[in-house]
Structure 1
Amino acid sequence: MRVGVPIFLFLAAAGFHTALTASLESAEKEDTFVGLEQLSELQKRDQEEFEAAQMSEAVQDENTEEENDTQEEDMTDRDGNVEADQHESESDEDVDGMRQKREHLEANVEEADETTNLGSPRLPG
């Protein structure tokens, strides 16, 4: 019996060691699994934040493009108004020139009428 007790103690210690090792490995695997779940959740959050940031940038880019388009339209309208003003100014100059020509012609016609009236006898009326 003396030989059986040390063997029994040895087998009990080996079994305890194996059970303890298995328990620790199980806990490590569980921690690793929980860690992976947490990591997965963090990655999902990061991905969502990244997508939100991209959407925000896209919206800002669209707003910037709209502002640029609006500015370009304003510039085009302003240029069109300047051209229209220049055209009106040219038209006004043309009208003024035509008016001066007409006045000059009327003055010449009146002078011719006066000259013709002076040279011809007036008929009593």
Structure 2
Amino acid sequence: MRVGVPIFLFLAAAGFHTALTASLESAEKEDTFGEEVGLEQLSDLQKRDQEEFEAAQMSEEENDTQEEDMTDRDGNVEADQHESESDEDVDGMRQKREHLEANVEEADETTNLAEVE
């Protein structure tokens, strides 16, 4: 019986060691699997975030383009209005000049008639 106790203790220690090793390997595999799944999920999230970011940039560029178009249109409308006002000013000045020339001609004719008489 004295020989059986050390053998029993040896077998118990070997069994405990084997169980402990298997448990650690299992835990290590679970951690690795968890990390791989975590990386895959993280990768999927990053892909979605990147796609959303690119979509947002495209939307911003479209908005900027629309704003530029509207600004150009507003500038063109203002330029057209300014041209119209300038044309009206030129027309008004032309009418005044013609009116003054007509008055000067009438005055010259009146002066000529007065000299003739």
Q: Give the TM-score, by structure 2 length.
A: 0.50
Identity between Structure 1 and Structure 2 (%): 99
Q: Which runs of 5+ in 2 are unaligned?
A: none
Larger radius of gyration: 1
1:85 Cα offset (Å):
0.2
1:37 Cα offset (Å):
12
**Are the structure 2 counterparts of residues 37 and 81 from structure 1 closer, same or farther at C-alpha, using a change threshold of 3 Å?**
closer
**Are the structure 2 counterparts of residues 40 and 30 from structure 1 closer, same or farther at C-alpha, using a change threshold of 3 Å?**
farther
Count of residue pairs brought into register by the alignment = 110
Distance 2:3 2:93 in 1: 139
Question: 1:22 matched to which residue of 2?
Answer: 22
Q: Could you say what secondary structure the match of 2:82 adopts?
A: helix
RMSD of aligned alpha carbons: 5.8
1:111 Cα offset (Å):
0.2
1:98 Cα offset (Å):
0.1
Distance 1:43 1:101 in 2: 73
1:44 Cα offset (Å):
11
Which of 77, 90, 95 is 2:72 aligned to? Answer: 77
1:81 Cα offset (Å):
0.3
Q: Could you say what secondary structure the match of 2:50 adopts?
A: helix
**Are the structure 2 counterparts of residues 112 and 77 from structure 1 closer, same or farther at C-alpha, using a change threshold of 3 Å?**
same
1:69-92, Cα deviation, whole Å (9 max, x unpaired)? 010000000000000000000000
1:35 Cα offset (Å):
13
**Are the structure 2 counterparts of residues 49 and 67 from structure 1 closer, same or farther at C-alpha, using a change threshold of 3 Å?**
closer
1:6 Cα offset (Å):
22
Q: Which runs of 5+ in 1 are unaligned?
A: 57-64, 119-125
**Are the structure 2 counterparts of residues 116 and 80 from structure 1 closer, same or farther at C-alpha, using a change threshold of 3 Å?**
same
Q: Give the TM-score, by structure 1 length.
A: 0.47
Distance 1:108 1:43 in 2: 84
**Are the structure 2 counterparts of residues 17 and 114 from structure 1 closer, same or farther at C-alpha, using a change threshold of 3 Å?**
closer
